Structure 1
Amino acid sequence: MEHTMIIVTGATGQLGRQVVERLLTRVPADRVGVSVRDPEKAKAFADRGVRVRQGSFTDPAGLAHAFEGATQVLIVSVDKMGEEAVRQHRAAIDGAVAAGARRILYTSHMGAAASSHFEPCRDHAATEEALRASGVPFTSLRNGFYATSAMQFLGGALQSGQIVLPADGPVSWTAHADLAEAAAAVLADEGRFDGPTPPLTAGQALTFDDIARVATEATGRTFTRSTATDDGFRQQLVGHGVPAETANQLLGVFAAGRAGEFATVDPTLAALLGREPITLGTVLREQLSENGGR
C-alpha cells in the first residue's frame, strides 16, 4: 500500500484533538501528523507515534514543514471571524496545495452561505470558494451547530432556571464527539464526499423553548424561557465586558436561527457513525451533573 500521510491542524483544540483521537483508532499512528501552534501541548500524541510539527496559518514557511508529505490535510477552521479568518484559511489551503496534498478537508458549518445572518457562516462560504479555486479535490464538512454553544448561551441559566435570550428558531445542536468521529471516518475513507457534505447534524432541531423543557425533564427543576429584545441582549453582553462587535456576531446566531438557517436535520451523520447521534439532552445532563446537578 502506498504511503499516506493525513495532517490535522488545530490538533490541540476541542475538535481537532478528538479528530486525532478517533483517527488513531482507524489508521496507524505513523500515517498521522499534526500541525499545531504549540508542539508541547501535543506531546501526548508525539508519545503515541504521531508526527508533531509546529505550524501556524500566519506563517506560510512553517506550514510547508508542518504539511510536508501530506496526502490529505484537514484544516480545522480558526476561532476568528471575518476577513482575518478567511485570510488564515486561505493560507492553510495554499500550504496544502504547495505540499502536494491530493485532498483538502475543511471543517465548515451547516448554513454556510454568503447571505447568512451569521458571520462565521459567511466566512465558511468564502473559504469554500477558496477551496473550489484551489484546483485540488476537497471535502467541506458542513458541521451541525456545536452543542457546546447552546451550553454557553445557557450560561447562568443552568443555576437560575431563567433562560432569557432573544427570539430564536430551531437549531440542530450537534456534539463535538460525533463530529470528530465523522471527520475521522471521512479521512480514513478518502474521497467518500467530494465538495460540501450534507449538513452533519444530530437527530433533532430544538428551540430554547424545547431546551427549557429538556432541562426541566433532565433535572426535575423548573426552567423557564423568556424572550429578551435583541437590543436588550446586546446591551447586557456589552455591560458584561463583551466587545460590541462580538455581541453583534452572537446576535447573528439568533437572526440566522429565526431565518431557519440551522433547522435542517439530516441522516448523513448517523450513517457515518453507524448509530444515532448524541442528543442535546445527553449533553445537557452531562453538563448539569458536572455542575453539581440539582
Structure 2
Amino acid sequence: MGKLILTGVDGNMGGLAAQHLLEMASKEDLIFCGYNEQVLEKYAKQGVETRQVDFNVKEGLADKFADGDVLALISMPFVGEKRQMAHKAAVDAAKEAGVKKIVYTSLVNAGDATNPSVEKIDHAVTEDYIKESGLDYIFLRNSQYAEAMVTNYFTFADKGEDLSNSQGDGQMVYISRKDCAKAVAYALMAKDLHHETLNINGKDLMTMSDFVNVANEVTGNDIKYHAITDEENYQIFDAMGVPRTTEGKFEKDSAAPFSSDGMVTFAQAIREGKMNSHTDDFKKLTGDDPITVRYMFEHQEDFQVGERHSKDN
C-alpha cells in the first residue's frame, strides 16, 4: 500500500491536519508537501518524509507524489483561473504518479450553479475535474471558518461598533478550521469511503445575529448586528485596506486576510440561503461533535483567523 500525502502543510489548515496525522498514523506512512522549506524542515526533523512542491509549476510535479496512494489536496488560498489551473496540475500529477484517491477541501454547496460565491466557482471546477480524472475521491465541503467571524467580531467590538455585513438573516453552520483539519486527517485515512461528498458543518445553524448574541454572552460586550448592502460591505473592507481580489496586496497581520470579493459574495450566498447545509457528516467521519461557537469564544485566543501564508502575492 502507498503512502498518505498531505499538501499545504505550511498553511493554516494543512498545518493543523499534519498534527492530527502525526498522532493518528505512522510517520513511515506519511509524505508532507509544501513550498516553505523552513516548515518542511520542521517535519523532516520529526522523521516525516517531506517534499517541496509548487502547483503552479507542472514540470516534475508528478515526481513529488510518487509512492502515494491517497492525496489530500488542500485548496489554494488564491481565487480564480490561477487556482483552477494549480488544482488541475495537482490532479494530473497525482494521476500520473499512480495516486488512487484525492481528498479535496471544497466549499458547502459548491455544486449549486445559483450559488453566487466567487469562491465556489473554483471548487466546482476542481470537483468536476477530479471526477473526470477517474480517480476515487472524497470531497469535504466545508462551511465557513468560524475563526474568520470570531476575529471579525472583535474587530468591531474593540472599536465599540456594531458588527456590520451583508449576510442579513441568512443562516450558516459555522465550523472551526481545527475541525476542518481534523476531517482532512480522518478522510485521508478512511479505507471505506469512496466517491463521497461530505458536508463538514459545525454544531449550530445560526444567523449573524445569533452569532453576535453568543459572543456578547461570553465576552460581556453589548454590540449588535447591523445588516448592510453588499456595496456598503465592500466599502468597509476598502477602508480596512483589504484588496478586492487575491491579486491585490495583503497587509501583514490583517484582520481580514481574504479578498473582499470572496467575503462579500460569500455573505450574499449566506443571505440568499445558499450556505445553510446542516448535516452530521463531520461526526460520522470523525466520531466527534464539532466545536461550538460558544466554546470558541470561551477560548477566543485559540480561534482567531491568523496570518495569510500564501507566497503568491
AA aligned opposite 1:170? Q
CA distance in structure 1 between the partners assigned to 2:36 and 2:166 by the alignment: 38
Secondary structure at the aligned position of 2:214 is classed as helix
- Counterparts of residues 23-62 of structure 1 (less than 5 Å): 23-62=21-60
Partner of 1:185: 186
CA distance in structure 1 between the partners assigned to 2:99 and 2:174 by the alignment: 32
CA contact (8 A) 2:136 2:195 kept: yes
Is 1:271 aligned with 2:284?
A: yes
AA aligned opposite 1:185? Y
Deviation at 1:115, TM superposition (A): 3.0
Cα gap change, 1:161 to 1:73, in 2 (>3 Å)? same
Deviation at 1:60, TM superposition (A): 1.8
CA distance in structure 1 between the partners assigned to 2:219 and 2:76 by the alignment: 35
CA distance in structure 2 between the partners assigned to 1:175 and 1:167 by the alignment: 19
AA aligned opposite 2:230? D
Q: Deviations over 1:42-63 (max 9, x none)?
A: 2221122111111110112242
Q: Deviations over 1:247-276 (max 9, x none)?
A: 333210111001212212101112223232
Is 1:204 aligned with 2:204?
A: yes
Partner of 1:172: 173
Cα gap change, 1:62 to 1:36, in 2 (>3 Å)? farther
Deviation at 1:152, TM superposition (A): 4.1
CA distance in structure 1 between the partners assigned to 2:244 and 2:73 by the alignment: 29
Return the structure number with greater helix share: 1
Secondary structure at the aligned position of 1:73 is classed as strand
CA distance in structure 1 between the partners assigned to 2:302 and 2:103 by the alignment: 35
* Number of equivalences: 288
CA distance in structure 1 between the partners assigned to 2:70 and 2:301 by the alignment: 38
AA aligned opposite 2:171? P
Secondary structure at the aligned position of 2:262 is classed as helix
- Counterparts of residues 78-117 of structure 1 (less than 5 Å): 78-113=76-111, 114-117=113-116
CA contact (8 A) 2:166 2:271 kept: no
TM-score by length of 2: 0.86
CA distance in structure 2 between the partners assigned to 1:280 and 1:55 by the alignment: 35
AA aligned opposite 1:15? M
Partner of 1:156: 155
Is 1:283 aligned with 2:260?
A: no
CA contact (8 A) 1:11 1:17 kept: yes
TM-score by length of 1: 0.91
Cα RMSD (Å): 1.9
- 5+ residue gaps, structure 1, are none
CA contact (8 A) 2:176 2:303 kept: no
Report the identity percentage: 25
